[in-house]
Structure 1
Amino acid sequence: MRSLPRWLIASICGALIVTIAMGVRQTFGVFLVPLSEAFGLGREQVGLTLAIQNLVFGIATPFAGALADRYGGQRLLAVGAIVYALGVAAVTIAASPLLLLVALGVVVGLAQSATTFAPVFGVIGQLAPPARRGFAFGLVTAGGSVGMFAFVPLAQLLLAALGWQGALLALAAVMVLPAVLTPALGAPARRTGAADNAPSGQQVIALALRHPGYALLFAGFFVCGFHVAFIATHLPAYLVDSGIGATVAAVALALIGLGNIAGSYLFGALGDRMVKKQVLSGIYLGRAIIFVLFLIVPLTDASALAFGLSIGVLWLGTVPLTSGLVAQLFGTRYLGMLYGFVFFGHQIGAFLGAWMGGAVYDRTVSYLPVWLAALALSLAATAIHWLIDDRPARQVVEQPV
């Protein structure tokens, strides 16, 4: 039996790492109400902590990507997993809202930048051949969806059985596992003389900033971040407030992950065969349609579950397409860093989505204005991606292997 190619082995390992890191990340919405009650805070304040986590995640990601590009992602991923576990565990002993913000907002946010897409894509992008890159990125992205599908109901069960502190300690223990998996990614790809003579990171950043398509990718990914953070943070509370049971609400959130397993594979593969920017426009138009239906159809257990599954198909299908467009425009040598800067736009949107959900609710006792904002942003992103100039930049820097 022929052995699997190195890029596929690394992709499977990267998918497992992202499964755990993103799985733990997606459980925090389940803890929104328990943390609010334990610390005597409003949803806006806990939502702000998670919003800061998203922002720190975004700010740190370009630097994590640059470190992965320069030194290889393996060590970064291992250290990040340990810090992630410590940050989650520290939430259980936080003695004040400020310490909660430091542990869950800052420490966990920093660790997420070192354990998720940017460093993993930095490794995979240098290994996968261009014709299979979309599939490889889709495989890794699907890992985040598997994590969401598996970890959200697990967190709900742990919460019911152990309380919020015991549940978080259990998740912290699981978060150590990616440190064990990182050796399977293999050694960093060796550079050739041609790569050593290639443009520097600063030159490539300057090239990217002059490319209009890069700015539009940044803006479009902002919308994605707003959507996923708002929904992941506030959907369970929104459903419970509307009379849906807590278990059904957790299952609806988990179904987002299930739908995205298929969506990530599908859109990653489509990106290898179709025009990536047009597929992205289709995703955002699809989200707009789903939001409209969710708001006008009576909310029942069935419609809540249908929403979770349908929005899940379109959830992170943007990630392999966006990272693939970055590689198409600028090559793979600095993919981790350049994707990291675009991902920062995603996390600015995530900051606003997580925070605005709580802020609007605390003032109006309603999430409707935020749902309408999400709908408007979907339509804007549909146009933004259609307008992207996706012709490669003059200096495309591939990483020879």
Structure 2
Amino acid sequence: MLMVNMLERMALITIFIYIILQTNIMKCFVKDKFDRKDKMMMIIIFSILAILGTYFGIYIKDQSLANSRPVGAIVAGYLGGPVIGIIVGFISGLHRYSFGGFTALACGLSTIVEGAIGGGFRILFKKKGLNPAVAGLAAVVAEITQMIIILMFSKDINSAIDLEKTIALSMILINSIGVFLIVMVIESSKKLVDGEVKLIKLKEENKVAELKALKAQIEPHFLFNSLNVISAYCRTDGEKARELILNLSNYFRATLEIEGDFSTLKKELALIKAYVAIEQARFSNRLEVKFLIDDNLLDIKFPILILQPIVENSIKHGILKKINGGIVTISIRNGEDDVNIEISDNGVGFENADESLSTGLGLKNINNRLRLLYGESYSLNITSSNNGSSVSFNIPK
């Protein structure tokens, strides 16, 4: 009957730990290395657990208890090391000592020793990591040690022997099972957290790889168009071809100086102007490009090679198809929370603007890059009609 009653109380303590592990406090228990804050939180939680074990205890005689107090100290030592186990054992042991009884001193001392034993087993079996079986074995050794200490330090040896005949088997078995279950729950939580961390790292690696792939698709796209324009001028206007080659070389020199996926708006605009110079050479008087830029934004961090494909899209689908040509306007303004970017033209527009995000290579890449860099809410907004088209987006300041 005693064993059943202790098992019921141990179930309550295990549920308590499970609830704790559903909160942010869990992060303090599942790390490979603990900082001062983690250790303090561990001492508080497992001291409360050990004290609850005393309150949940079953009175046998003369203030003597069959209880699960050692569980808190053993688990604290096993997770945090001997020092943490000893501190938790001292706090909960002192609390038990205040209850009095002929085993008060023995129980107080034994709780400290059990915390140290939990920490010792973690050191001895460090290579096994967080292992419920090892923790359970530590509890068996710790509980046997407690029984020896009770016999050594109790005021009444005969009463101590009678007490242990009643409680020894139940406490050794139930408390060992409790330690095993609690460490198993913590181990499962740690595996879950480790899996989430690996998943986040994998997503970050995939994000970087995809950004590099998208950028690699955009750069050749611009290069091939530029070389086609230059090759045409090589036969008709050598000086103009030379000027365009310089613009192209300036463009790629600037891209080689860029590290990562970001530059400044000033550098991005320099790239755009080099690109526009080549396109204006292609379309002559049919193409005009206006820059409406807030000068206060020139030094902000800006994703590289974002503007050029959008400008190219406006020229190709808007201006190129219009007999008299037209105007492309690049507007970059300072918004309340974000920087507002809009590339518009007064060309002929294009059909199925929304489908261009899934079918057009340039705009599709830009949309994917924005969402990868800033999140799902930072996507392209496209409008188009017979009077022209507009592509706008925001980036966080």
* TM-score range for the pair, normalised by the shorter chain length: under 0.3
Greater helix proportion? 1
Which structure's CA Rg is the greater one?
2
TM-score of the pair, normalised by structure 1: 0.25
Greater strand proportion? 2
Where relative contact order (Cα < 8 A, 6+ residues apart) is larger, the structure is: 1
TM-score of the pair, normalised by structure 2: 0.25
